[in-house]
Amino acid sequence: MPQVKFIEFNGTEHNIDANNGDSIMTAATSNLVPGIDADCGGECSCATCHVLISAEWQTKLDAPSESEESMLDLNPDRSSESRLSCQIKMSDDLDGIVVNLPEFQY
């Protein structure tokens, strides 16, 4: 099982075992990691599962789709590390990925 390290805005860490194929959003919500709201349930339609992922880890991910782009773009706090966690599927390649949570979801 690949592991995800979630780091809350206040620094609290959560190491979570994720199922292959589950999204990072699901790994957070099904393990009660705070800071991800996921209002739309993983449909890339609300942007309340916003996370920050370093450039280094992003090289292992597919670039955001057009719909992820358009939702990310509504967030005035968007940075180069911004992603929607519902759009990233876990796999063994991503074992150990570090996911930083923003202070707030919009």
**Least CB distance to other proteins at residue 93 (A):** 28
What is the Cα 10 distance to its own chain's centre? 17
CA dist., res. 106 & res. 102, Å (int): 10
Q: Please report whether residue 32 would count as binding other proteins according to CB under 8 A.
A: no
Answer yes or no: are the C-beta atoms of 51 and 24 closer than 8 Å.
yes
Q: Please report whether residue 86 would count as binding other proteins according to CB under 8 A.
A: no
CA angle 61, 62, 68 (to 5 degrees): 110
First-to-last alpha carbon distance for the chain, in angstroms, is 31
**Least CB distance to other proteins at residue 40 (A):** 5
- Binding other proteins (rule: CB under 8 A), the pick from 20, 30, 45, 65 is 45
**Least CB distance to other proteins at residue 52 (A):** 15
Give the interface segment with other proteins, choosing from 20-28, 56-64, 73-81, 93-101 (CB under 8 A).
Answer: 73-81
